[in-house]
Amino acid sequence: MRRISLNTGWLFHMGDAVGADYMGYDDRAWQRVTLPHDWAVSQPFSRSHSSGTGYLPGGVGVYRKHFELPGDIAGKKVAVTFGGVYNHARVWINSNYLGERPYGYSTFTYDISAFVRPGENVLTVRVDHAEVADSRWYTGSGIYRGVTLSVGDPVSFEENGIFVSTKALLPDGGAVLRIRYAAPLAEGARFSVDGQSVCADSGEVELTLPRANLWSPESPYLYTLVCEALRGGEAADTERIRFGVRTAVFDPDKGFFLNGVSMKLKGVCVHHDAGALGAAVPAPVWRRRLQKLKAMGCNAIRTAHNPPDPALLDLCDELGFLVMDEAFDEWEGAKNKWWQGHNVYPPKRFGYAMDFPQWHTADLSAMVMRDRNHPSVILWSIGNEIDYPNDPYVTPLFKEALGNNDNGKPAAERKYDDKKPDASRLAVISKELVQTVHSLDDTRPALSALSFPELSTRTGFADTLDVLGYNYREGFYDADHARFPNKVILGSENGHDPNGWYAVTQRDFIAGQFLWTGVDFLGECRGWPSRISGAGALDLCGYEKPLYYQRKALWTDAPFIKIAVAQGDPARGVWGDAFVYTGEPGKHVTVACYTNGPWAQLKLNGVSLGRKIRTEADGCRLTWEFPYAPGTLTAETAGAYDRLCTPGEAVHIILEPDTPTLLADGEAAAQIEVSLTDDLGNLAGADDREVYFQLLGDGEILGIENGRHDDLTPYAARYRRTYRGRAIVYLRAGTLPGELTLYAYTKEGLSARCTLTVTADG
């Protein structure tokens, strides 16, 4: 099957366009866009929109794509696949209606063989995201993932119909693979990998690799399975599937084992946006983020709380991350959606719950079938905090209940109300979802992330699950392990408090944890003017925060030390730390050192402020309080050193691209890190400036981000103020080879430029 990207050359109309389903509709005045495309980030922030989704708009939008097909297209199998459209997508091809997909996170495919023709063809997609307060986090709006056209022989494999898994690792270093595929095909199939080949005609076959390179976070080795649908002994259709040879086993008493080796999951939860880019995130942005998380010691990712971009899973395969792949944040019962600030009543209740009864099997199946060949995926999560108390499910076992981050809930909302849905219903739905998962993949367990295990372990919900995920419920680990000795337990969502990690390391039976979160994200904010949830180890630009270094100290062994300074109230701890040493002379300042070393010594201008021994109670964060004086802080531990200076006035703009070259394919993206420095080359973190940007050449600025939670500068603007001396610019190349030059300047006279080479052949 030949796959062709349809990401370039789309036409977009903001608002409804009656009659645009007609192939001959006049769309010449429409805006030209490239996928992935999120229209929300081109609009201003407004308090009239939802705080839950970051104060950016929804609405209705219509897309059209004109494309050519050759004269021999008749008799071919032709399909179009959408990676993700948020939401309620309706699709037409050449005036013929194909169908609707309400869930904004599902990948879906239409067979368009009967409707395409030689020459011009026209796809139309209507997207209806009118109810923007339909989520607890930023969703994006539009065709925010890629679109692919598939053209092949009628004798071909079904879309996502091939599944390869590791049946067994052999004592001699070999491996037995099990390959299943949608049968029947006309004359069977042939499968080949690494010089080994086998034919089949039954829908399932085994293939033995005599010497297998195992996939792991330390060595993420990937094979390619070549799959041929046969006709007359020849390949009528060929598919290539990347996979890894590995076993993943969860044990109720001993935790998680990869390839027979015990391993703790050092995970983070991630949402799917990237600030200025919205939900339309190019793969290089994820690569940069994942590489930084890997350096932090992270080895696992949870896709909170929806099926991810397939490009993210490809990178997890390549870089060696273990993945909890999550399907839903709500089932039949609509959760509260905060739209005036977190826990500010009244809520709104739009969301996927309205479509779940009709679509849950199709959407869950689509996720499992699409993602099951990724060696990175080790867990299927069927839901997140579905058991949130009184939101909406209740039980007579609890006359009053509060959940996570729920202190603002009115008293009446905390009480049992027999007119609300009964929590016993969750066990019925969960059983069905788990059966769906097992029918499509019997090699991985199914989990749900429980927010209220004191309820769900008594209503039958927990009994239906293979693995129990606990969100912020470390206090139940011991008692529930004793109550459910045959159940695997792990932390599916946890705060950054080191005690949560110690709860894992001190118990063999806890498989690991997933921090909330790996990266800051849009939405789920406390209220205007905040647009961001700031719980990440990385900020919205992908820069390391103090939380990053605390976790690095907990999760890595190579000696390091990092200095940070408490901002505002020192009682806020790590949340208030920053890498900026400023203050009022004589007034006390609190300085923290994050380290995995046995001790740390801090000096100011060469004079020691004391040497401290690190204990578990410190959480890898040692602090000193002393009267502020400008100058240079230095920190030392066994085998590591750090330095932080009082920043001077900004005199330089530094532009650092993540790549020197881009491919002239209309889709290739680059990231330019922006820093202000003083005359000594130190980050000028106390002298932020408005920086203006201009791009020359065939390309476009996709967005500018600074990570500051209350900066409401429209993302469409071509300027942004730095935050603590930094920002980031995202670019996309066009289709003409040549050069792209980014110019940056301030009104005070600072300027810089950097040039990327755009090539025809990569």
What domains are defined for the chain? 2-152 (2.60.120.260), 162-243 (2.60.40.10), 248-273+299-533 (3.20.20.80), 557-645 (2.60.40.10), 652-759 (2.60.40.10)
- pLDDT, residue 573, reads 37
- CB neighbourhood size of 57 (10 A): 21
pLDDT in tens, 163-206: 999 999 999 999 999 999 986 566 889 999 999 999 998 899 99
- CB neighbourhood size of 343 (10 A): 16
- pLDDT, residue 601, reads 98
- pLDDT, residue 428, reads 98
pLDDT in tens, 286-337: 999 999 999 999 999 999 999 999 999 999 999 999 999 999 999 999 999 9
The encoded tokens of residue 205 equal: 């076959």
Parallel, antiparallel, or unpaired: how do β-strands 96-101 and 77-82 relate?
Answer: unpaired
Residues 6+ away with beta carbon under 8 Å from 675: 653, 654, 656, 683, 725, 726
What pairs with residue 193 in β-bridges?
A: 196
Residues 6+ away with beta carbon under 8 Å from 288: 542, 658, 671
- pLDDT, residue 250, reads 98
What's 316-348 look like in SS3?
Answer: HHHHCCEEEEECCCCCCCCCCECCCCCCCCCCE
The encoded tokens of residue 704 equal: 């500018």
- pLDDT, residue 574, reads 39
- pLDDT, residue 571, reads 43
Tell me the one-letter amino acid at 537.
A
CA distance 697 to 757: 10
- pLDDT, residue 762, reads 60
Q: Point out the residues of the chain with pLDDT beneath 70.
A: 183-186, 568-575, 762
Strand order in the sheet with 89-93: 31-33, 10-14, 59-69, 119-129, 89-93, 96-101
Distances in whole angstroms, Cα of residue 220 to Cα of each of 232, 253, 315, 433, 539: 37, 27, 10, 30, 27
CA distance 749 to 730: 23
CA distance 201 to 186: 9
- pTM score of the predicted model: 0.96
Q: What is the dihedral of CA 375, 377, 379, 381, to 10 degrees?
A: -160
- pLDDT, residue 186, reads 65
The encoded tokens of residue 522 equal: 């849009």
pLDDT in tens, 666-710: 999 999 999 999 999 999 999 999 999 999 999 999 999 999 999
Parallel, antiparallel, or unpaired: how do β-strands 189-193 and 690-696 relate?
Answer: unpaired
- pLDDT, residue 359, reads 98
- pLDDT, residue 413, reads 85
- pLDDT, residue 761, reads 82
- pLDDT, residue 414, reads 87
- pLDDT, residue 570, reads 43
